[in-house]
């Protein structure tokens, strides 16, 4: 079974560590640094569990971790400021902050914090794609408060539908719950909501059970379209059995206080959907402070703050970024092909033997993960298979390539550059990785553990290995103790026990 | 020990029943009536525990009881409307309601509910005595949301005092927590807050511990002035040891966003008290819907809705009131003295023998509890002692009194009429009592169990015994597991174990 993976407690503990939103601070050895934390919320929230908070399956307090409490437990001497960073000034190496605690401050609410190293982990914001009415009328699932508001709002709908003098049509409208966006968050929320209605609310409001409906509006042809197709199909048929309506292929173009205007993507026909409560889970956007910082460092045209593979913002010294606010720009191998050739060509012969290539192969693969991905995708057994492509069908052992042949052999490799997804799993692994680098910085400057430098003049080793995302799978609870999970190594699991196993990893302390 | 009283589980269960805010609905046999419940909040809150919610000692969800959940558990077929009653119309026997669930209702939010019997249990509202700024700047302890807001606000103060660039003076101001009103609620909150600060927050904010202060402002000379004096003194010395400042003899005359103006009652001097957070627990007031109803039924000049001893509003048919919105008008014995004499004088002799008086004595004592209280206060052994006062020092056995002598003997009894306090304990007992009356109504019409009718023409028996408040004591937690309790029968207990015992009764399910 694919799940033996989860069976060991140590594995579970490790998974937990690299999944936590607070993984950077948790893992950082703060005796080596003077740490200052700036956040407008004095807790870390484990956002993947927010859909469960909406329906009371999980208590709000179990998905949050108070920041100060965490430091206290760890015995760490860390300063925390409940404030929002509204500007990063990389030339002065300082951040401008505004107290989040409101009134009564006599103008003292703004302050500056200097840094030697800055770790930007501001997350993303909701992206409404400027759809009119979404901000005003939809709920979101980004913060703990959002989940609590949704819970209250669902119950309010039932109460509203229960007061006298409400027509059946009105009841149907009030009890129509719409989820816009069929990604993991939207799907999990729909499933939680369905269970909450069927197992709980319907008993308390038996008179109006018949008027309740849940709809998922998804612009793509399938829900869960980042998952394996088998999972999407399984989830869709489960939802159909449950009576959850799937409106796939529809784009939301407007939301008013009591209806949603959708447009069929194939026919272009617009329809009005009356609703009682709507949740928008259709996209993430960039925070203004990040947009401003990006334009300062010359990244004005990008959608997220770019870092190199060591999670550092390449344009400025000592600024790192992790999580949904950033994305890693994987270096293309073709940009560095001349340096790579030069480094590999130890005898300066102007050609590379297979041995010379094999000597630097590990470093190349660490630095450019696309090489292995490409070879795997082409079913190549070893590097000789790849190099052959440049020189034609020559004999492996005696193979010698010049720079042009080397370039030709690697010319398609960069097609396999993968973007790391914006998930909590990635953010947590990045935090864990970066703290680890900071902890061993002194040691690694003396004893570099990274690959050969293959860019620029190409001398010596990188201090650290670059960040590498370990995909631990995806999981979608589908309600009624059914769930679907996608695990590394092409495992797909659907059905009853999946959820329990996943949660035991996710939610255990 | 005074606490053997609490030792039995059955007693605890009974106490619990008669303490619950929902005691009327819990106890009512709803199979006999078509019950409709109108409340803007879909839960009952056990307000005496709110101070503990502010500091996390007790979870908000353990002090609330969702209304629908309660009906579901009891299997009761009860209609519930989440709405606010904004007008009582006793001539049409209907209440006007407005949905509390807000938007999206297309004007359908108002509706009317007819009644045969109406039980008014609207509670009281905050009374600021029109002190400027109180509504805008103070917290209250009436609703569950209030308690949660206070908790957030306390933590916000600590965060505010932790941001850079805050002067020591400002820190002192921000971390000054003021409680206005030294009654049980204010005192318990002060104690909870003190424990929360000392046991919890100070560990998380060690740098600002020295700036924290708690002050209770009380206009009277002592806090807890409805309690036995020994308790007040004990509480005051406990608070002094804890460093909680008691400003007794001060009246609050104004509250601004960062200071409270107090006036010394003896000297008349006004002082400005800078503060970070203030809680107002200094009085209760009448809701507008009650004020309106009172003026409709000719009670315009009273401060609370008056009921008779059977909890019925005497001016209108079939309207009952319980809890803080109402107060019982105990009938004076002197108003009915002629009827009482006539009823007792069975042989129409124009005089009463001691036997004749003794024959109706139980009924008199049930109807006019002040008789027993008066006799007790005067250390009288039996009724003859009381009657002697009217006729001089005659012989008990052969005593005969005429109407004038009878009046003279009872002329001071009404001085012992006691007002029932506005506490949760009273409200819960009233609810329990009233439900009981409704449950046995049919039986009691046939077989009255109340005392002789001693008013008006004075014929037959009342259907029910009048409501009689059983004082189960008062309790004030003082922090650090110290508490003071006043129990029936003049027991006073102070110290360590008191709180635990009390809570085990209060909070047990």
- For chain B, report the end-to-end CA distance as a whole number of angstroms: 25
- Check residue A30 and give its pLDDT: 85
Quick one: B171 and B271 in the same domain?
yes
Task: Say how many C-beta atoms besides its own lie within 10 A of residue B295's C-beta.
Answer: 12
The helix/strand/coil state of B127 is coil
Is position B35 within any domain? yes
Distance (Å, whole) CA B304 – CA B299: 9
**A80, A101, A111: residue with CB nearest B156:** A101
Distance from CA of B204 to the nearest CA of A (A): 6
B171: part of which helix (H) or strand (E)? Answer: helix B168-174
More confident residue, A193 or B77: A193
Beta carbons of B81 and A162 less than 8 Å apart: yes
pLDDT for position A487: 62
Percent of chain B at pLDDT > 90 equals 48
| A161/A169 Cα distance (integer angstroms) | 10
Residue B3 has pLDDT above 60, yes or no: no
Give the model's pLDDT for residue B218: 95
End-of-domain residue from the set B266, B284, B302: B284
Q: Which of A260-274, A477-491, B148-162, B196-210 has the highest mean pLDDT?
A: A260-274
Mutation for testing the B interface, residue in A159, A173, A177, A205 having most B CBs under 10 Å: A159
Report the candidate in A409, A413, A334, A407 with the shortest Cα–Cα distance to residue A374.
Answer: A413
> Among A26-40, A291-305, B150-164, B461-475, whose mean pLDDT is lowest?
B461-475
State whether A83 and B163 contact (CB < 8 Å).
yes
Min distance B111 CA to chain A CA atoms (Å): 7
Is B376 contained in some domain?
A: yes
- Given a cut of 60, whether residue B14 has pLDDT beyond it is no
Chain A interface, mutation test: which of B145, B162, B169, B200, most A Cβ atoms within 10 Å?
B162
Q: Which two tokens stand for residue B369?
A: 């509890």
Asked whether residue B425 carries a pLDDT value surpassing 60, the answer given is yes
Residue A216 in domain: yes
The answer on A164 and A74 residing in a single domain is no
Q: In angstroms, rounded to a whole number, what is the distance separating the alpha carbons of residues B193 and B190?
A: 5
pLDDT at A184: 82
Nearest CA in chain A to B98: A163
Q: Do B160 and B208 share a domain, yes or no?
A: yes
pLDDT on residue B303: 85
Q: Which residues of B touch A170 (CB under 8 A)?
A: 106, 108
What is the rounded distance in angstroms from the CA atom of residue B7 to the CA atom of residue B14?
12
pLDDT tens across B364-393, in order?
A: 999 999 999 999 888 888 888 888 877 765
Q: What is the CATH number of the domain that holds B375?
A: 1.10.238
Residues A118-170 have pLDDT tens digits of 999 998 889 999 999 999 999 998 888 888 889 889 989 999 999 888 899 99
Closest CA relative to residue B201, chosen from A76, A68, A104: A68
How many angstroms separate the CA of residue B19 from the nearest CA in chain A? 25
The answer on pLDDT for A493 being more than 70 is no
* Mean local confidence (pLDDT), A435-456: 94
Question: In chain A, what residues touch B205 (CB-CB under 8 Å)?
Answer: 68
B208 shares a domain with B161: yes
Do A320 and A441 belong to one domain? yes
Mean pLDDT across A210-226 = 92
The DSSP H or E segment spanning B179 is strand B176-180
Position B505 pLDDT exceeds 80: no
Chain segment B64-92, per-residue pLDDT in tens: 778 888 877 777 678 889 899 999 999 99
Confidence of residue B195 (pLDDT cuts 50, 70, 90): confident
B288 pLDDT higher than 90? yes
Whole-angstrom distance, CA of residue B171 vs CA of residue B260: 17
Average per-residue pLDDT for chain A: 84
Please return the burial class of A392, using the count of CB atoms within 10 Å of its CB with bins 0-12, 13-18 and 19+.
Answer: exposed
User: Per-residue pLDDT for A352 more than 50?
Assistant: yes
pLDDT value at A498 more than 60? no
Q: Give B492's strand partners.
A: B486
pLDDT tops 90 at residue A342: yes
**Mean pLDDT confidence for B449-462:** 91
CATH of the domain at A236: 3.50.50.100
Q: Please list the alpha-helical segments (H only) found in B30-101.
A: 50-54, 60-63, 67-74
| pLDDT one-digit tens code per residue, B203-238 | 888 889 999 999 999 999 999 887 778 888 888 988
Q: Do B257 and A204 touch (CB under 8 A)?
A: no
Give the pLDDT confidence score for residue A6 in this predicted structure: 32
Percent of chain A residues past pLDDT 90, beyond the cut: 48
Q: B344 with B319, same domain?
A: no
Q: Are residues B293 and B316 in the same domain?
A: yes
The answer to whether A204 contacts B72, with C-beta atoms less than 8 Å apart, is: yes
Give the closest of A104, A156, A162 to B258, CB-based.
A104
pLDDT confidence of residue B108: 61
Looking at the partner chain, which of B111, B159, B205 has a beta carbon nearest the beta carbon of A164?
B111
Neighboring chain A residues of B165 at a CB cutoff of 8 Å: 108, 111
DSSP letter at A312 equals B
| Structure tokens belonging to residue B147 | 């308690």
* A1: pLDDT strictly greater than 60: no
pLDDT in tens, B265-287: 999 999 999 999 999 998 888 99
SS3 A305: strand
| Residue B461 DSSP label | B
Contact between B80 and A111 using a beta-carbon 8 Å cutoff? no
Taking CB atoms and an 8 Å cutoff, what residues of chain A touch B77?
A: none
Nearest to B69 among A69, A103, A204 (CB): A204
pLDDT at position B10 over 50: no
B chain contacts of residue A256, beta-carbon cutoff 8 Å? none
Same domain assignment for residues A246 and A233? yes
Locate tokens 């319907």: which residue?
Answer: A202
For chain B, what is the domain count?
4
Residue A140 domain-assigned? Answer: yes
Our measurement of the distance from residue B462's CA atom to the centroid of its chain's CA atoms, rounded to an integer in Å, reads 27
Cβ B452 vs Cβ B340: under 8 Å: no
pLDDT tens-digit series, residues A387-404: 887 776 566 667 889 999
Instruction: Say yes or no for a CB contact (<8 Å) between B204 and A160.
Output: no
Residues of B with CB below 8 A from A80's CB? 162
Helices and strands (DSSP H and E) totals, chain B: 20, 24
With CB atoms and an 8 Å threshold, state whether A164 touches B42. no
Q: Considering only residues B236 and A490, tell me which one the structure prediction assigns the higher pLDDT.
A: B236
Interface of B with A (CB under 8 A): 42, 68-69, 72, 80-83, 99-106, 108-109, 111, 113, 155-157, 159-160, 162-166, 170, 174, 203-205, 257-258, 276
Q: Which residue has the higher pLDDT, A349 or B14?
A: A349
Q: Are B53 and B59 in contact (CB under 8 A)?
A: yes
The helix or strand, by DSSP H or E, that contains position A120, with its residue range, turns out to be: strand A118-120
Q: Which residue is closest to B105 within chain A, CA to CA?
A: A160
- Cα angle vertex A17, ends A11, A18, to 5°? 95
**For residue A80, what are the contacts with CB-CB under 8 A and spacing of at least 6?**
A36, A37, A38, A39, A42, A67, A68, A71, B162
For B440, the domain range is 19-124+286-329+421-446
Q: Do A155 and B72 touch (CB under 8 A)?
A: no
The answer to whether the CB atoms of A170 and B83 lie below 8 A apart is no
Confidence of residue A15 (pLDDT cuts 50, 70, 90): very low
Q: Is there a contact between B452 and B465 (Cβ–Cβ < 8 Å)?
A: no
Q: Are B181 and B218 in contact (CB under 8 A)?
A: yes
Q: Do B106 and A170 touch (CB under 8 A)?
A: yes
A461 within domain boundaries:
no
**Would you say residue A459 lies in a domain?**
no
Q: Taking residues A375-384, what's their average pLDDT?
A: 87
Question: In this predicted structure, what is the pLDDT of residue A3?
Answer: 29
Q: Is the pLDDT reported for residue A5 higher than 60?
A: no
A203 neighbourhood in chain B, CB within 8 Å: 72
pLDDT reported for residue A399: 82
A81·B164 Cβ contact <8 A: yes
Q: How far apart are CA B85 and CA B100, in angstroms?
A: 10
Boundary of a domain, candidates A404, A429, A446: A446
User: Are A420 and A306 within 8 A, CB to CB?
Assistant: no
pLDDT at A104 over 50: no
Interface test with A, best of B159, B255, B278 (most A CBs within 10 A): B159
Q: Is residue A188 part of a domain?
A: yes
Q: What is the mean pLDDT of residues A343-363?
A: 92
**Residues B310 and B427 occupy one common structural domain:** yes
For testing contact with chain B, the best of A164, A176, A208 (most B CBs within 10 A): A164
pLDDT at residue B396, rounded to an integer: 65
How would residue A71 be classed by pLDDT, with cut points 50, 70 and 90? confident
Alpha-carbon gap, residue A144 to A147, rounded angstroms:
5
Question: What average pLDDT does range A295-316 have in this prediction?
Answer: 93
Alpha helices in A313-423 (DSSP H): 337-344, 354-367, 370-377, 383-391, 403-410
Secondary structure letter of residue A15 according to DSSP: H
Chain A / chain B CB contacts < 8 angstroms? 93
Which of A98, A136, A163 is most worth mutating to test chain B (most B CB atoms within 10 A of its CB)?
A163
3-state secondary structure of B351: strand
CA distance A99 to chain B (A): 7
Phi-psi group of A261: left, alpha or beta (phi > 0 → left; psi -120 to 50 → alpha; rest → beta): beta
Mean pLDDT of chain B: 84
A101 in the same domain as A24: yes
Cβ contact (<8 Å) for B162 and A105? Answer: no
Model confidence at B509, pLDDT cuts 50, 70, 90, reads very low
Q: Does residue A184 sit in the same domain as residue A258?
A: yes
**CA B111 → CA A120, A160, B86, B296, distances in Å?**
54, 12, 10, 20
Which residues of A lie closer than 8 Å to B, measured between beta carbons? 42, 68-69, 72, 80-83, 97, 99-106, 108-109, 111, 113, 155-157, 159-160, 162-166, 170, 174, 203-205, 257-258, 276
Q: How confident is the model at residue A489 (pLDDT cuts 50, 70, 90)?
A: low
The pLDDT of residue B41 is 85
B159·A258 Cβ contact <8 A: no
Q: Quote the DSSP letter at residue B200.
A: I
What is the pLDDT, as a whole number, of residue A424? Answer: 79
Mean pLDDT of A198-205: 85
B77 token code pair: 């077929």
Same domain for A181 and A194, yes or no, is yes
Q: Taking CB atoms and an 8 Å limit, are B174 and A258 in contact across chains?
A: no
C-alpha distance from B99 to closest chain A C-alpha (Å): 7
Which residue's entry shows tokens 């409400």? A166
Quick one: pLDDT band at residue B463, thresholds 50, 70, 90? very high
Angstrom CA distances, B305 to A170, B22, B125, B300, B325, stand at 38, 20, 14, 9, 6
- The shortest CB-CB distance from A160 to any of B101, B159, B205 is to B101
Res A92 pLDDT > 60: yes
Look up tokens 């007002």; give the residue: B419
Q: Which residues neighbour A487 within 8 Å (Cβ) at sequence distance 6 or greater?
A: A2, A3, A5, A472, A473, A493
Q: How far is B101 from chain A (nearest CA, A)?
A: 6
B451 assigned to some structural domain: no
SS3 B78: strand
ipTM: 0.75
Check residue B102 and give its pLDDT. 56
Lowest mean pLDDT among A499-503, B56-60, B99-103, B173-177: A499-503
- What residue has token string 């209760």? B284
Residue range A27-68, pLDDT digits in tens: 898 888 999 999 988 887 767 667 777 776 666 666 677 888
Q: How confident is the model at residue A374 (pLDDT cuts 50, 70, 90)?
A: very high
CB contact under 8 A, B162 and A257: no
Q: Would you state the pLDDT for residue B345?
A: 93
Q: Which residues of A touch B155 (CB under 8 A)?
A: 42
């Amino acid at each position: 079974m694919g799940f033996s993976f989860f069976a060991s407690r140590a594995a579970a503990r490790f998974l937990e560590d690299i999944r936590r939103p607070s993984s950077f601070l948790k893992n950082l050895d703060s005796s080596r640094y003077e740490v200052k934390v700036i956040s407008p919320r004095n807790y870390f929230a484990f956002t993947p569990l927010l859909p469960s908070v909406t329906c009371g399956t999980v208590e709000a307090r179990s998905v949050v971790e108070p920041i100060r409490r965490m430091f206290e437990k760890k015995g760490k001497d860390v300063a925390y400021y409940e404030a929002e960073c509204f500007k990063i000034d990389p030339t002065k190496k300082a951040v401008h902050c505004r107290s989040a605690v409101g009134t009564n401050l006599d103008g003292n609410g703004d302050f500056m914090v200097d840094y030697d190293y800055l770790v930007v982990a501001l997350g993303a914001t909701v992206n409404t794609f400027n759809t009119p009415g979404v901000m005003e009328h939809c709920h979101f699932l980004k913060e703990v408060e959002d989940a609590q508001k949704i819970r209250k709002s669902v119950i309010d709908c039932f109460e509203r539908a229960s007061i006298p003098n409400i027509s059946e049509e009105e009841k149907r409208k009030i009890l129509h719950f719409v989820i816009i966006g069929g990604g993991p968050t939207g799907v999990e929320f729909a499933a939680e909501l369905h269970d909450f209605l069927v197992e709980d609310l319907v008993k308390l409001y038996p008179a109006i059970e018949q008027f309740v409906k849940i709809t998922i509006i998804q612009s793509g042809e399938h829900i869960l379209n980042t998952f394996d197709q088998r999972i999407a199909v399984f989830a869709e048929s489960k939802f159909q059995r449950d009576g959850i309506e799937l409106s796939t292929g529809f784009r939301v173009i407007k939301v008013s206080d009591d209806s949603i205007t959708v447009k069929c993507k194939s026919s272009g026909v617009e329809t009005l959907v009356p609703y009682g409560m709507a949740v928008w889970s259709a996209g993430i956007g960039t925070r203004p402070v990040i947009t401003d910082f990006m334009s300062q460092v010359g990244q004005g045209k990008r959608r997220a703050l770019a870092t190199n593979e060591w999670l550092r913002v390449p344009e400025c010294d000592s600024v790192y970024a992790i999580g949904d606010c950033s994305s890693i720009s994987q270096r293309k191998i073709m940009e560095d092909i001349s340096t790579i050739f030069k480094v590999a060509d130890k005898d300066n012969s102007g050609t590379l033997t297979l041995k010379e290539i094999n000597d630097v192969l590990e470093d190349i693969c660490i630095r450019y993960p696309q090489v292995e991905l490409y070879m795997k995708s082409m079913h190549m057994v070893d590097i000789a298979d790849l190099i052959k492509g440049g020189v034609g069908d020559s004999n492996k052992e005696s193979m010698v390539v010049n720079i042009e042949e080397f370039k030709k052999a690697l010319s398609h490799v960069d097609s396999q550059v993968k973007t790391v997804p914006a998930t909590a799993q990635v953010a947590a692994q990045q935090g864990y990785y970066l703290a680890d680098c900071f902890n061993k910085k002194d040691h690694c400057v003396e004893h570099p553990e990274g690959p050969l430098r293959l860019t620029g003049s190409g001398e010596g080793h990188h201090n650290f290995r670059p960040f590498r995302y370990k995909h631990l799978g995806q999981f979608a609870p589908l309600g009624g103790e059914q769930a679907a999970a996608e695990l590394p190594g092409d495992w797909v699991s659907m059905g009853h026990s999946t959820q329990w196993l996943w949660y035991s990893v996710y939610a255990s302390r």
